[in-house]
Amino acid sequence: METTLIILKPDAVQRGLMGQIIDRFERKGLQVVGARMMMVPEELARTHYAEHEGKPFFPGLIRFVTSSPVLLLAIRGINAVAVCRKLIGATNGGKAEPGTIRGDFGLSGGYNMIHGSDSAESAQRELALWFKPEELLDYKLDAEKWSYDPSDHP
């Protein structure tokens, strides 16, 4: 099992899309193992998006992500990073495939509703920034045995 970070950004929160977005992950068979709503401090936003510092869009990104509450989610499942990224869709909602979160709900590249870790390594680093270890729960979903065929994952 792999755990990844998902951030529902200010536009998703302000547009009232949190429930519909979480529903997509749960219907896929993924498990929410951590959740917290918060206002993002500027320093934490800068740390999280440090790889983009110096790029022209960086100041606007920091202003955006700190402008309104976000919902932090820790999502667990087999290949959770890749599965979540596929559900999220391309960065620009206007170009994202229909059926993806951004493709169904978004029109913008900047206001793109959701962040998902891009690798298992990034997920570990990002989860540690946003959650304390004790905030990530380890529990069994009864539905899990109906989501994963054991022959797919020997």
What positions carry a catalytic annotation?
A: 115
| 3-state SS, residue 72 | strand
Q: Per DSSP, what are the bridge partners of residue 72?
A: 7, 36
Sheet architecture: strand order including 2-8: 31-38, 70-77, 2-8, 114-116
What contacts 24+ positions apart, CB below 8 Å, involve 132-139?
Answer: 135/34, 135/36, 135/74, 136/3, 136/33, 136/34, 136/74, 137/33, 137/34, 138/33, 139/33
Residue 100: CB atoms within 10 A of its CB come to 19
